[in-house]
Amino acid sequence: MRLILALLGSGLVFLAQPAASQTYPVKPIHLLVPYAPGGPADIAARLVGAKLTEAWGQQVVVENRPGGNGFIAMTAAAKSAPDGYTLVMATIGEAAVSPVLFKEVPYNIERDFAPISLISDATIVLATHGEAPFKSVADVIAAAKAQPGRISVGSPGNGTVNQIVLEWMALNTGTKFQHIPYKGSAPAANAIAANEIPLGMLASSSVAPHLKTGRVRVLAVASARRSRFGPDWPTLQEAGVAEVNASTWTALLAPKDTPQPVIGKLNAEVVKVLEMPDIKERFAAGGVDTIPSSPAGLGARIKQDTAQFGMIVQKADIKPD
C-alpha cells in the first residue's frame, strides 16, 4: 500500500511540474545582481527584466547586492527556493573565475545552480596610448622580452579575467609584464588615455570613448574571432599569441533543482528577448553583443572557461586582492 501511495505521489509531482510551467510566473520574480547599479550585469538585468515584465505581466524586480567578490548575491541565490522566482545575473567572474581563484567559495556553480542562458558578451582588447611606440602585438612582445617585468599593463583589478588574459599571453609568448591593477575598467582606460601607463587589457566598451579622440588605439582582441565593433582589430591568435580566447560575459542562473519546465520557459522567453532588434541595439550602444544560448550551451561555456582559467591561475600564480 505504501509503495502504491509513493508511486502515486511521485506521479503527482511529475504532473505538477508541467502545470507549474504553464502558469509560471504567478508572482514577481527577483533578479539578483552581484554589483552596484550601472555595470554590465546590472544593465543586462534591467534590459532583460523589463522585457520579461512586459511579456508575462509580472514584475521582475532587480536587486543589487554588491560586495564580497559577488559572493553575497550568489550565495543568496543559491539558498533561495528552486521555484523560478529568484534568479541571478552572474558574470564570468562569479561563474568561472572566482571558483579557481579563491580557496574558499561559499557556492559551487555546478552543485548550486541551474543554467538558463548566456546573455551578453563584451570584447577584451589589448589597448595602448595613441602616441605609444607600440604599433602591433609583435612590438609589445619584443619590448617585454627586452625588458622583462618592466612593461606596465593596466587591468580592472587583481584576479579579473583581464589579468588572466594578460598572464595567458605572457605564458604563451615567454614574456613577463608588470600588472597594474585599477579599481575598474574605466579608470584603467583613463590612465592609458592620459599616458600614465602604456598598455591595458580592458573591455572594448571602456576604451571606446577614447578611440574617437585618438588617445587610445586597439592592438588586438582576446577572443578567437574579431569583434564587429572593430573589424580591423586582429585577434591575439592572429598576432601570434597561441590559444588565448576569452571575453567577459553575463549569464542568467537559477537555483539548482528549479523544475526543468520552468527553466525551459525562462530560456525560451530570454532567447526571444535577446533577439529583439531594440534590445540588440541597446546592448550594442554599450559595445556589447547579445549571445542567447541553450541551458546546455551555458553550462558548457562555464566548464570550458573554468578549466582554462584554472590552468592559467595556477601556472601564473595569480592571487586575488
CATH code, domain with 191: 3.40.190.10
Q: What's the structural domain count of the chain?
A: 2
Q: Are residues 118 and 145 in the same domain?
A: no
pLDDT at 321: 75
Residue 239 lies in a domain: no
pLDDT at 286: 87
pLDDT at 224 over 70: yes
Residue 229 lies in a domain: no
Mean pLDDT of the chain: 93
Q: Are residues 118 and 27 in the same domain?
A: yes
Whole-angstrom CA distances from 68 to 24, 175, 212 are 32, 32, 35
For the stretch 211-222, pLDDT in tens is: 989 999 999 999
Q: Please spell the DSSP secondary structure of 213-232, one letter per residue.
A: TTSEEEEEESSSS--TT-TT
Dist CA 218 CA 243 (whole Å): 19
Q: Are residues 117 and 142 in the same domain?
A: no
Q: Are residues 128 and 99 in the same domain?
A: no
For the stretch 273-313, pLDDT in tens is: 999 999 999 999 988 999 999 999 999 999 999 999 999 99
Strand, helix or coil at 187?
helix
Q: Are 120 and 249 in contact (CB under 8 A)?
A: yes
Q: Are residues 25 and 100 in the same domain?
A: yes
Residue 212 lies in a domain: yes
Residue 241 lies in a domain: no
Backbone φ, ψ for residue 301 (5° rounding): -65, -40
Residue 234 lies in a domain: no
pLDDT at 19 over 90: no
pLDDT at 1: 54
Q: Are residues 84 and 58 in the same domain?
A: yes
Residue 13 lies in a domain: yes
Q: Can you give the CATH number for the domain in which 69 is found?
A: 3.40.190.150
Residue 235 lies in a domain: no
pLDDT at 293: 98
The grid coordinates listed for 42 are 546590472
Q: Are residues 61 and 105 in the same domain?
A: yes
Q: Are 44 and 121 in contact (CB under 8 A)?
A: no
Q: Are residues 60 and 106 in the same domain?
A: yes
Q: Are residues 28 and 102 in the same domain?
A: yes
Residue 129 lies in a domain: yes
Q: What is the mean pLDDT of residues 52-67?
A: 97
| Amino acid in the structure at residue 208 | A
For the stretch 265-275, pLDDT in tens is: 999 999 999 99
Which residue segment(s) compose the domain that 205 sits in? 123-221
pLDDT at 41 over 90: yes
Q: Are residues 78 and 140 in the same domain?
A: no
For the stretch 107-158, pLDDT in tens is: 999 999 999 999 999 999 999 999 999 999 999 999 999 999 999 999 999 9
Q: Are residues 86 and 138 in the same domain?
A: no
Q: Are residues 102 and 10 in the same domain?
A: yes
